[in-house]
Amino acid sequence: MMTRYQQQGALLKANGECVFRVWAPFRKSVTLLLLGGEEVAYPLTAEKDSGYWSTTLQGVTDGMHYYYLLDEHLQRPDPASRRQESTVHHASCITDPASFTFTDQQWKGISPEDLIIYEIHIGTFTPEGTFRAARERLPALEALGITAIELMPVCQFAGDMNWGYDGVYPFALHNRYGTADDFKALINTAHHLGMAVILDVAFCGSNTEGNYQSDFGPYFTQKYTAKGAPGVNLDDAWCDPVRDFYIQNALMWLDEFHIDGLRMDTLHGCQDNSAQHFVWELSEAVGELEQQTGNRKLLIASTDLNDPRYTNPVSIGGYGCTAQWADEFHHALHSLLTGETEGCYGDFGELSHLVRAFTNAFVYTGQYSPFRRRKFGRQLVDSDARHFVVFAQNHEQTGRRKKGERLGTLVSFEALKLAASTVMLSPFIPLLFMGEEYGETSPFLSFTAMSDAGAFRRSRLRWDITTAPNAALLACYRFLIAFRKHRPAMRVTAKDALEIHPVGQLPLLAIKRTSGQDTVLILLNFDKGIQTYHHVAPTPLKKIFDSAHEMWNGPGVKAADEILENEPILLQPLSAVVYEMAHHEE
């Protein structure tokens, strides 16, 4: 791992030597309290002009517990703890980073154009809610066609249930989910099945229960606040070790744990006015790690800014991330299907918004937003659809609802297949939320250790794939994913390979995607009635997919299997139809 970022924590080596290192710039003394048969105190030595304290001990073993004693009176766990076996308030636990042997040497990572992401909350993905149980489900995801799993945050938080964004020990896995070896085994198995692993991280979280960083140093600053809490110190006095702390954390996941990418939550909350933004510095560090390991690493941004800077190259003033979530694609699709216009959906509801989402990824690119009551966003110069992740459902958009309703409980079955088709047939990186592929009806609620445990239990997947609609939807997703993977026209992500046209004033979209001699015509009918599309080109069409077909538990097809010039195509309500175009030799 790169040494330019100062490593903290209890760093156990193969010879039993352990380096204890912690940043506490304003403390007069720091003492290690090592627990065993009896408590033994070891004073740490201040490193000159850095604010770091350290000591090296022999005979330290995996599983030993320790605290730090600050100024001889304040006993605290390690901010860089690798494991909290008891609670966030008790002793940290030393772990052996070499106790698990990876066998994924042939795995070199994944290209953005090959990503088909499946988002998982470990606690509710299986009845057991553990890494081991999730590992057992991976073959089913491989059979679906998934190429990457994205895990909601798994670091230690207070209590037994949480989405994970209140994590307070970013280097430690939550003890309820399993051990570091359990997690590494999950990653190792995923790689053997041809799936990448992306980890959701929250670098800019607030000072929540169990976070003792402020007792050690200025990890937070009053320069910025969010909901009354101080912001993470990324650009105030003493910010360099704070930036190092989080960059080293990212490198640990990507290097030691063989994680393929990070999804960085709520980056608009990372206030940083430095000449080199934190995300830019992180992307450079990850690029260096790629060079050293020969493995591709991904950085995916999540912001509420519609700012192309996050995925723009550093050479033109960007931060160099691989991709970013395109929430407005979801909003445009969701409001069109549900008719909802409350809150943020007040900016959407018309077919033109979905057209803009297909064209720009962002819908608002500088024009006035009624919801925000101001101009919002910036126009993209980027024509690469691989820089945006789109979805019909995810943890945020489902969990923010008061009742946590999934899309399948808000719209008809036909509309659910139309939503799946819209996402999977788009040129962007598609993301599915766990259970979406078979129409899971359990809600996904917002839950923390302070909330009713029933909300957590009700959010668990039921894994009911035996009913006719659920089995048909699962088969439909498998077809769409395979079609996306193997059809040449679906592999091209540049804008000039995509034509999208509204059909007059009808709630109907015609999308043409082309790669060389392969052209497909995608028709999306968002109307609750039958609509007609007139094929005026001289090229004959042959139908490949129709979401209304009985094989997908649909009402039956209206669109003909073969279409000639000027022939009408009848589309069932809320349906998606795909044709291939025959190419004539010149």
- CA 164, CA 207: separation in Å to the nearest integer? 14
* Angle, alpha carbons 537-425-107 (nearest 5°): 135
The better pLDDT of the pair 4, 460 is held by 460
Over residues 10-57, the pLDDT tens digits come to 999 988 899 999 999 999 999 999 998 788 999 999 999 899 999 999
Distances (CA, A) of 350 to 174, 371, 373: 43, 15, 19
Look at residue 15 in the predicted model and tell me its pLDDT: 87
Which CATH fold topology does 9-93 show?
Answer: Immunoglobulin-like (2.60.40)
Structure tokens given for 88: 């966030």
Please determine whether the domains at 9-93 and 496-581 fall in the same fold group of CATH. yes
pLDDT at 92 over 70: yes
Among 326, 284, 276, smallest CA distance to 301 is for 326
Query: Whose structure tokens read 């101009």?
Result: 375
Contact between 167 and 153 (Cβ < 8 Å): yes
Q: What are phi and psi of 213, to 5 degrees?
A: -60, -35
Percent of residues, the chain, with pLDDT higher than 90: 89
Mean pLDDT of 140-146: 98
Over residues 254-309, the pLDDT tens digits come to 999 999 999 999 998 889 999 999 999 999 999 999 999 999 999 999 999 999 99
Contact between 170 and 244 (Cβ < 8 Å): no
pLDDT at 206 over 70: no
Over residues 397-412, the pLDDT tens digits come to 999 999 999 999 999 9
Q: What are phi and psi of 268, to 5 degrees?
A: -65, -15
Look at residue 585 in the predicted model and tell me its pLDDT: 47
pLDDT at 1 over 60: no
pLDDT at 112 over 50: yes
Amino acid at 107: W
Contact between 511 and 492 (Cβ < 8 Å): no
Most confident of 198-212, 226-240, 540-554: 540-554
Mean pLDDT of 455-462: 96
* Residues β-bridged to residue 569: 533
Whole-prediction pTM: 0.97
Look at residue 382 in the predicted model and tell me its pLDDT: 73
Q: How confident is the model at residue 208 (pLDDT cuts 50, 70, 90)?
A: confident
Look at residue 205 in the predicted model and tell me its pLDDT: 72
- CA 287, CA 261: separation in Å to the nearest integer? 12
Look at residue 3 in the predicted model and tell me its pLDDT: 56
Q: What is the mean pLDDT of the chain?
A: 94
CATH of 496-581, picked from 3.10.100.10, 3.30.70.260, 2.60.40.1180, 3.30.70.1230, is 2.60.40.1180
* Angle, alpha carbons 361-363-369 (nearest 5°): 155
Look at residue 229 in the predicted model and tell me its pLDDT: 85
Distances (CA, A) of 197 to 130, 232, 393, 457: 16, 27, 19, 25
Q: What DSSP line would sit under 66-116, residue for residue?
A: EEEEETTTEEE--TT-S--SS-TTS-EE---TTSS----TT-----GGG--
pLDDT at 586 over 50: no
Helix 351-360 and helix 327-338: axis angle, to 10°? Answer: 160
Domain boundaries, the chain: 9-93, 496-581
Q: Is 327 helix (H, G, I), strand (E, B) or coil?
A: helix
- Give Dmax over CA atoms of the chain in angstroms: 87
- CA 463, CA 436: separation in Å to the nearest integer? 10
pLDDT at 2 over 60: no
